[in-house]
Amino acid sequence: MQYRQSKARRNGNSSEASRPDVYSRVTEQVIAHLERGVRPWIKPWRAEHTDGRIVRPLRFNGLPYSGINILMLWGAALAEGFSAPTWMTFRQAKELGANVRKGEKGSLVVYANAVVRTETTDDGDEIEREIPFLRGYTVFNVEQIDGLPQQYYGKPEPQLTPVERIAHADAFFAATQADVRHRGPQAFYAQAADYIQLPPAEAFLDIEAYYSTLAHEVVHWTKHPSRLNRDFGRKQFGDDGYAREELVAELGAAFLAADLEITPEVREDHASYLDHWLSILKADKRAIFQAAAHAQRAADYLHGLQPSAP
């Protein structure tokens, strides 16, 4: 019995065995939220998270998660009603002198890396081939753990006052040097002319709705060939490539909102994308991973334009 368990564990950790399972599990979780009309990258702010600072999910050491792990843990917090942002493994909790409560169910996060393998060609030459792999592991929210030091249970306080937060957001977007034009009733990014159009700030329900929309369009702005050169093969409005880019912009805007301590807004004009996103995710189990990776690159690129960036 012990041998069979060990063998299964080894098989489960191989790249070929674990990769499709992890892709499927994560994608199925996102699909389940979307089928209920809930965007897991927006919903967490509508509940307990509004009591404290809005943040990305955090590791036990305070470092934020990135990419697909943000969506997975926001989704888990939404499903289970967790308000604390911090997560850790069973072993990490134990090393802190704490214990996961009996019967608690952990949440999946993933680790991506690559190994380099030397192979011999038919001509006898040796070449190195990089083989990517994806592995999943389990973490628990601190609300599932007893005996942690008290600082793990406190909700993070806002670091900026509302006025400072607005000034901070202004400074962040100004540092990108994106051409933002305030006119007309619509918000969009015009790639050919390379500018963003937004209605005046006064036209929005509140100032955070304005910044949330600006964040969305600035993520679109990063796709320009002179920046990240992101292209999903869009041919016309509303096609598959268009929907994939909109998903990247939604995720990237949510990541930026957490970083800038602003509340993202659900844009009703994007409700029509839900069915299209569902069809993409059901057809391609890697689509949400790719979208999250592109969104993370966009957020990192915009952070890299800031004066304080290394």
Q: Please name the residues in contact with 5: beta carbons below 8 A apart, sequence gap of 6 or more.
A: none
- pLDDT value of residue 54: 62
The three-state secondary structure class of 307 is: coil
Mean of the per-residue pLDDT values of the chain? 84
- Say whether pLDDT at 75 is over 60: yes
- Say whether pLDDT at 247 is over 90: yes
- pLDDT value of residue 12: 38
Q: How far apart are CA 99 and CA 144, in angstroms?
A: 9
Percent of residues, the chain, with pLDDT higher than 70 = 85
What is the widest separation between alpha-carbon atoms in the chain?
Answer: 70
DSSP string of 155-168, one letter each residue: PPPPSS-HHHHHHH
Q: How far apart are CA 304 and CA 298, in angstroms?
A: 10
Q: 50-54, 149-153, 205-209, 223-227: which range is least confident on average?
A: 50-54
- Say whether pLDDT at 91 is over 80: yes
- Cα dihedral: 291, 296, 299, 302 (round 10): -100
- pLDDT value of residue 177: 98
CA atoms within 13 A of residue 136's CA, in its CB half-sphere:
21
Provide the sign of the torsion angle of the four alpha carbons 71, 75, 78, 84, taken in this order.
Answer: negative
- pLDDT value of residue 267: 63
> Which has the closest alpha carbon to 188: 232, 239, 246?
246
Q: Rounded to the nearest 10 degrees, what angle do helices 273-283 and 15-35 cross at?
A: 160
- pLDDT value of residue 269: 60
CA distances, 207 to each of 160, 168, 251, 303 (Å): 15, 13, 20, 21
- Say whether pLDDT at 61 is over 90: yes
Q: How far apart are CA 206 and CA 249, in angstroms?
A: 21
Q: Please name the residues in contact with 213: beta carbons below 8 A apart, sequence gap of 6 or more.
A: 187, 198, 204, 265, 267
Paired residues of 284 in beta bridges: none
- pLDDT value of residue 171: 96
Mean pLDDT of 257-278: 78
- pLDDT value of residue 4: 35
* Model pLDDT for residues 8-57, shown as the tens digit of each residue: 333 334 333 344 478 898 899 899 988 888 888 875 544 443 444 567 89
Percent of residues, the chain, with pLDDT higher than 90 = 52
Phi and psi for 180 in degrees, rounded to 5? -105, 120
- Say whether pLDDT at 222 is over 50: yes
- pLDDT value of residue 272: 67
Residues in the chain, total: 310
- pLDDT value of residue 193: 97
- pLDDT value of residue 130: 78
- pLDDT value of residue 290: 95
- pLDDT value of residue 46: 44
Paired residues of 64 in beta bridges: 58
> Which has the closest alpha carbon to 299: 219, 240, 224?
219
Q: How far apart are CA 190 and CA 224, in angstroms?
A: 10
- Say whether pLDDT at 237 is over 90: no
* Model pLDDT for residues 111-139, shown as the tens digit of each residue: 887 777 888 777 777 788 777 778 899 99
Mean pLDDT of 263-292: 83
* Model pLDDT for residues 184-194, shown as the tens digit of each residue: 889 999 999 99
Mean pLDDT of 48-71: 79
Alpha carbon of residue 309 to chain centroid: 21
Q: Which tokens sit at 218? A: 């600035």
Most confident of 27-31, 75-79, 296-300: 296-300
* Model pLDDT for residues 128-182, shown as the tens digit of each residue: 877 777 889 999 999 999 999 998 987 666 777 777 778 999 999 999 999 999 9
